[in-house]
């Protein structure tokens, strides 16, 4: 891998400590970092290199999935870390940074390849990009890349403005927009599975699927993020980015050995085919919710408007469920139900595909017959389960479900940030959010934002510790479906009556 200087804006922040340093450390231990690699951390706080290195070590002890105990390994790792004070608006700080980088590159005989990682608030993105450009930080003889955290805009117009301004300093190929759901191992497998698995290939699409359900339930509430979350809500925080990315990754149709370009092109096609909503249609396709007080896993929790720093009359959404349709040959007539919410009964991110009833089942008298399903478990556990009905060998006419589970052994799975940072270092943008799809996502979401703003969609209160408002169930019931694995929390795919086959892979 090419020599790289990793320039981290926001090096003293929460994301750096919890995700970025552990990811870099795990890549280092797995020998996936370039041979010549240096990190320059930036922030307003005055820190010596030694204190910065000690802070990095501390964050590894707290947050790395690998034990960070071996003092020799740790020392070798943090040796690559330097710190420089930089206030994003102070131009002289960028010149000082340029000097430090050039000095490091000369000392280590590194090519001037620079990756700028913006782990700072979105209000700084444009200023930093412009200052990188003006100071000459990005005009060396090597490559430059910009890794940018969410949120990418607040609505369609602000996203377009942000993109236009970033484009003055970086080309689209140089911009890596992080959506950490795209780094999750199971999400990355969706692409490969479709291309390489003949059974899945044969089943993929509207000829056999009855509906698709994409869920991201969270137990946590607003946490300490009131200032951010109360202006954003579930629609902007989760739906516009993570949930629509899951939809795209599931429904793209790729040629064998697809490239990053194929992925980008096909995701755009999916978004282009998504049936647009008018502001007036939103009410019949979208359920907006906000959590009230309740009990989760035996603990009482307060309602959203009683959370610290949330206004008592806040109308912010903490839950959304929506029905979407893709008007192309592969997916026409398959409803996609997507939901995400805070303070739900359990933490579960999963995709459930429910198949149409085959003829043989329609003839069966067994009322307990369960539909055939494929379940992609994304979080907290990862795995794929197939539930297929088969004849019971002892009771000739009866059907019963069998389950086939493929589970990854949990201890050695890379985290989303490891995958994504590794890809950015390689210059591979397959699992990043490209501008076309970001713009089309905002375009699709904009009528919902408008309808919320004009109060055209009721805000349903739901009790914390449930699966959201009853209206979310009605959204599916209207079409004759129900959310899988709700109501009967004990009814996971593992516990439904039937034989079960489990395969574990260590790939």
Ligand X SMILES: O=C1O[C@H](COP(=O)(O)O)[C@@H](O)[C@H](O)[C@H]1O
Ligand Y SMILES: NC(=O)C1=CN([C@@H]2O[C@H](COP(=O)(O)OP(=O)(O)OC[C@H]3O[C@@H](n4cnc5c(N)ncnc54)[C@H](OP(=O)(O)O)[C@@H]3O)[C@@H](O)[C@H]2O)C=CC1
By CB under 6 A, name the binding residues for ligand Y.
Answer: 10-16, 43-45, 86-88, 119-122, 149-150
Verify cis geometry, omega within 30 degrees of 0, for the bond prior to 87.
no
Query: Does 191 participate in binding ligand X (rule CB under 6 A)?
Result: no
When CB distances are held under 5 to 8 angstroms depending on the partner's kind, the choice from ligand X, ligand Y, none that residue 153 binds is none
When CB distances are held under 5 to 8 angstroms depending on the partner's kind, the choice from ligand Y, ligand X, none that residue 218 binds is ligand X
**Cβ 238 to ligand Y shortest distance, Å:** 11
| Residue 154 designated active-site | no
DSSP secondary structure string for all residues of 251-298: H----TT--HHHHHHHHHHHHHHBPPPPGGGHHHHEEEEEEEEEEETT
CA R_g for the chain: 24
Question: Considering only residues 348-387, where is the footprint of ligand X by CB under 6 A?
Answer: 349, 379
Query: Does 317 participate in binding ligand X (rule CB under 6 A)?
Result: no
Say how far apart CA 401 and CA 180 lie, in whole Å: 35
Q: Which is nearer to ligand Y, 56 or 386 (CB)?
A: 56
Question: Considering only residues 279-308, where is the footprint of ligand X by CB under 6 A?
Answer: none
Out of 105, 218, 382, 486, which residue is the one contacting ligand X (CB under 6 A)?
Answer: 218
CA distances from 493 to 320, 340, 374, 477 (A): 25, 20, 10, 21
Q: Which is nearer to ligand Y, 14 or 173 (CB)?
A: 14
- 144-148 vs 175-177, strand pairing mode: parallel
Q: Which is nearer to ligand X, 328 or 379 (CB)?
A: 379
Cα dihedral 478/480/483/489 (nearest 10): 120
When CB distances are held under 5 to 8 angstroms depending on the partner's kind, the choice from ligand X, ligand Y, none that residue 156 binds is none
- 319-324 vs 175-177, strand pairing mode: unpaired
3-state secondary structure (DSSP) of residue 111: coil
**Cβ 241 to ligand X shortest distance, Å:** 7
Which stretch in 82-90, 131-139, 213-221, 317-325 sits in contact with ligand X by CB under 6 A? 213-221
Do residues 119 and 8 lie in contact, with contact meaning Cβ atoms separated by under 8 Å?
A: yes
CA distances from 246 to 57, 222, 250, 279, 380 (A): 34, 23, 6, 24, 16
When CB distances are held under 5 to 8 angstroms depending on the partner's kind, the choice from ligand X, ligand Y, none that residue 425 binds is none
- The residue sitting closest to ligand X, measured at its beta carbon, is 237
Q: Which is nearer to ligand X, 433 or 496 (CB)?
A: 433
Q: Which is nearer to ligand Y, 225 or 500 (CB)?
A: 225
Q: Which is nearer to ligand X, 206 or 379 (CB)?
A: 379
Q: Which of 154, 242, 460, 482 is catalytic?
A: 242
Name residue, tokens 């076309």. Answer: 436
**Cβ 370 to ligand X shortest distance, Å:** 27
3-state secondary structure (DSSP) of residue 199: helix
Do residues 131 and 99 lie in contact, with contact meaning Cβ atoms separated by under 8 Å?
A: no
Cα dihedral 310/315/317/322 (nearest 10): 180
When CB distances are held under 5 to 8 angstroms depending on the partner's kind, the choice from ligand Y, ligand X, none that residue 12 binds is ligand Y
Say how far apart CA 279 and CA 110 lie, in whole Å: 54
**Cβ 382 to ligand X shortest distance, Å:** 12
Which stretch in 216-224, 440-448, 471-479, 494-502 sits in contact with ligand X by CB under 6 A? 216-224
**Cβ 175 to ligand X shortest distance, Å:** 19
Which stretch in 199-207, 214-222, 243-251, 280-288 sits in contact with ligand X by CB under 6 A? 214-222
**Cβ 486 to ligand Y shortest distance, Å:** 27
Find the length of the chain: 507
Residue 234 is labelled as binding a ligand = no
When CB distances are held under 5 to 8 angstroms depending on the partner's kind, the choice from ligand Y, ligand X, none that residue 27 binds is none
Say how far apart CA 280 and CA 456 lie, in whole Å: 8
Token pair in block for residue 7: 């320039």
Residue 237 is labelled as binding a ligand = yes
Helix, strand counts (H, E) of the chain: 18, 17
Q: Which is nearer to ligand X, 230 or 237 (CB)?
A: 237
Query: Does 466 participate in binding ligand X (rule CB under 6 A)?
Result: no
Q: How many CB atoms lie within 10 A of CB 44?
A: 11
Query: Does 237 participate in binding ligand X (rule CB under 6 A)?
Result: yes
Question: Considering only residues 32-71, where is the footprint of ligand X by CB under 6 A?
Answer: none
CA angle 67, 69, 75 (to 5 degrees): 120
Sign of the dihedral through C-alpha 417, 144, 89, 229: negative
Residue 154 is labelled as binding a ligand = no
Give the residue numbers marked as catalytic.
242
> Residues forming the annotated binding site for substrate?
180, 184, 218, 237, 342, 347
Positions that interact with ligand X (CB under 6 A): 216, 218, 220, 237-238, 349, 379
């Amino acid at each position: 891998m090419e020599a790289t200087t990793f320039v981290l804006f926001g090096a003293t922040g929460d994301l750096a400590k919890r995700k970025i340093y552990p990811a870099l450390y795990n890549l280092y231990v797995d020998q996936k970092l370039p041979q010549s690699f240096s990190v320059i951390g930036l922030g307003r706080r005055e820190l010596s290199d030694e204190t910065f290195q000690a802070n990095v070590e501390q964050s590894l002890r707290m947050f790395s999935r690998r034990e960070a105990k071996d003092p020799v390994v740790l020392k070798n790792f943090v040796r690559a870390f330097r710190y420089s004070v930089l206030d994003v608006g102070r131009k002289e700080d960028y010149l000082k940074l340029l000097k430090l980088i050039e000095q490091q590159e000369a000392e280590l005989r590194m090519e001037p390849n620079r990756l700028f990682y913006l782990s700072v608030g979105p209000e700084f993105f444009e200023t930093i990009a412009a200052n990188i450009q003006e100071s000459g930080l990005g005009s060396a003889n090597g490559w430059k890349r910009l890794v940018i955290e969410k949120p990418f805009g607040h609505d369609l117009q602000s996203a377009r403005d942000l993109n236009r301004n970033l484009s003055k300093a970086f080309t689209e190929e140089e911009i890596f927009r992080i959506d950490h759901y795209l780094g999750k191992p199971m999400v990355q497998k969706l692409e490969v599975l479709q291309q390489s698995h003949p059974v899945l290939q044969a089943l993929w699409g509207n000829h056999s699927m009855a509906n698709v359900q994409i869920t991201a339930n969270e137990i946590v509430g607003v946490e300490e993020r009131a200032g951010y979350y109360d202006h954003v809500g579930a629609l902007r925080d989760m739906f516009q980015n993570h949930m629509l990315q899951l939809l795209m990754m599931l429904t793209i149709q790729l040629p064998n050995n697809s490239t990053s370009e194929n992925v980008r092109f096909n995701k755009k096609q999916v978004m282009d085919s998504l049936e647009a909503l008018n502001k007036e249609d939103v009410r019949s396709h979208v359920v907006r919710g906000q959590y009230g007080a309740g009990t989760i896993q035996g603990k009482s929790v307060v309602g959203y408007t009683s959370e610290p720093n949330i206004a008592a009359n806040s109308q912010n959404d903490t839950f959304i469920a929506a029905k979407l349709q893709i008007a192309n040959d592969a997916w026409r007539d398959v409803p996609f139900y997507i939901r995400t919410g805070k303070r739900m009964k359990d933490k579960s991110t999963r995709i459930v595909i429910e198949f149409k009833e085959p003829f043989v089942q329609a003839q069966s008298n067994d009322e307990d017959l369960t539909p055939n399903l494929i379940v992609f478990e994304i979080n907290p556990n990862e795995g794929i389960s197939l539930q297929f009905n088969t004849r019971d060998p002892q009771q000739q006419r009866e059907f019963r479900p069998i389950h086939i589970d493929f589970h990854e052994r949990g201890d050695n799975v890379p985290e989303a940030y490891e995958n994504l940072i590794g890809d950015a270092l390689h210059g591979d943008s397959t699992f990043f959010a490209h501008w076309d799809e970001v713009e089309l996502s905002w375009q699709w979401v904009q009528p919902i934002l408008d309808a919320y703003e004009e109060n055209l969609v009721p805000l349903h209160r739901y009790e914390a510790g449930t699966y959201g408002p009853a209206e979310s169930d009605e959204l599916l019931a209207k079409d004759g479906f129900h959310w899988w694995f709700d109501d009967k929390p004990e009814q996971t795919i593992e516990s439904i009556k039937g034989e079960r086959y489990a395969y574990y892979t260590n790939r």
